[in-house]
Chains A and B, each alone.
Chain A
Amino acid sequence: MRRIYLDHAATTPTHPEVVKAMLPFFTDAFGNPSSIHSYGQEAKGAVEEARTKVAELIGARSEEIVFTSGGTEADNYALKGIAYANEHKGNHIITTSIEHHAVLEVCKFLGRRGFKVTYLPVDKYGLVDPQDVRKAITDKTILISVMHANNEVGTIEPVEEIGKIAREAGVYFHSDAVQTVGHIPVNVAELKVDLLSISAHKLYGPKGVGALYVRKGTKSVSLMHGGEQEKRRRAGTENVPAIVGLGKAVELAGQEIGKEAERLAYLRDKLIEGLVGKLDHIRLNGHPTRRLPNNVNLSVDFVEGESMLLNLDLEGICASTGSACSSASLEPSHVLLALGLPAEQAHGSLRFTLGRENTEADVERVLDVLPGIVARLRAMSPLLKTQK
């Protein structure tokens, strides 16, 4: 059976050209970038070339890019690094209730260690109000962290406005841009961010590598102590093949960013309109227009997400859900609850995230298959009767 992958917000397939670019650095060019000899020099050169490519894509200087093991480490480094380097100035951090766990759990960790964290609410579309950010700032605030776009519902946050407010107040501003870099234009100067997290495997690069943009002059401490790699900001021998892969991935993403976003937005809207047209008691989660070009998140009433997901998987369609049943926690998605969805609608959510290899035929296949699955599950749902 032909499989249709519609979970690109979880991860993307590594682009064949990325794999090709990485391969020599496992074998022929295996050197340690810290070595003085030619092997070391060629590895060092490759790492610096990748750094330049990442910097170019987001409008940064190459010395402002620190390679990490991925988005989670970039978020940890951003938050803990700022918190511990600036605790003499204050202990207050502002973030939102819909951040990725890589930010939220770090905030909770810091909250248990003397920092005070404000978790801002969002509106029904998942948007943070910049005025809420302004009002939350105190003379103790040292950091604001607001994601560029939400990974579950795809809402694009007003990061530029928040950045302006943060800069006026003299507060460091971090944005988790894991879902946007390589997908929509990201420019650190326009967004007025001091720190920005990037993950390679979300943009057709390899897993296990990412980067943090750290604006020149930002006071931060390292999480990893050891050698002098990354200008002492991140110790440990560089993951050279992965870093080269990240460099190639951002290069490819930069070449087709506008065109691909337009293509995906067309498929996205076709999928949303098709499903809303074919099914009743279904609604779009997230913002209707301020939305990632590849994100479709819907709540289907009276049915549970995991059941829909497994039925789709049996048909070869791979998607995602915010239902508790798909996680170990038993609680539905914190993002959908923050948008104000009742628990049963959060449990009935489905997320399709489109990508490079998806076509119109894939969208049509979902439109053909999902209504039947929903009808079958609704026939066994005790909730439908209660609603009648």
Chain B
Amino acid sequence: MPDIWSLYNDKVMEHFKNPRNVGEIEDPDGVGHVGNLVCGDVMELYIKVKDGIIVDAKFKTFGCAAAIATSSMVTEMVKGKRIEEALKISNKAVVEALDGLPPAKVHCSVMAEDALKAAIEDYLEHQKLKRQI
């Protein structure tokens, strides 16, 4: 186990200690469920959308400190964003917002991006179905 103080920077540790937006949204407009247990990372991201804008986002994550911090950060980043803007949020942007992650932990940020995309796709899928009805 490497020394944690050189492993994670202050911002990552702050989000790990006080993660924002933990929980589920009742009656969400989109849910993204990604990750797998073999790798030890599972993330669920819930979004609430109003007039094409993400008005709320929450998450539940099983994973390491980097997984929890990126989950927390990505939910902060999407709130108030239009769907098309939110789709442009990359894992790199999440890592930058956290002032960086150790190289071995960058894959955790990919999970955050994937969860966000999955939640938005889920939302768009529901919209399509609604229009068809």
Contacts and interface: CB of A to CB of B under 8 A. Distances in A.
B17 interface: yes
Contacts of B4: 310, 313
Contacts, number: 76
Contact of A332 (B40, B59, B67): B40
Contacts of B8: 310
B40 A347 contact: yes
B40 A380 contact: no
Given A324-B39, A344-B40, A382 B62 contact: yes
Contact of A383 (B22, B39, B59, B62): B62
A263 B71 CA distance: 43
Interface residues of B, number: 31
Contacts of A310: 4, 8, 13, 16, 65
A324 B104 CA distance: 11
Contacts of A347: 37, 40
B42 A383 contact: yes
B129 interface: no
Given A330-B107, A380-B19, A342 B63 contact: no
B40 A304 contact: yes
Given A324-B40, A343-B40, A304 B104 contact: no
Contact of B40 (A7, A302, A323): A323
B124 interface: no
A309 interface: yes
B20 to A, nearest CB: 11
Contact of A304 (B1, B17, B62): B62
Contacts of A381: 60-62
A330 B103 CA distance: 12
A309 B1 contact: yes
Interface of B: 1, 4, 8, 13, 16-17, 19, 22-24, 33, 37-44, 59-68, 104, 107
Given A307-B68, A325-B40, A379-B22, 8 more contacts: A307-B65, A325-B64, A328-B104, A343-B38, A347-B40, A380-B59, A380-B60, A382-B62
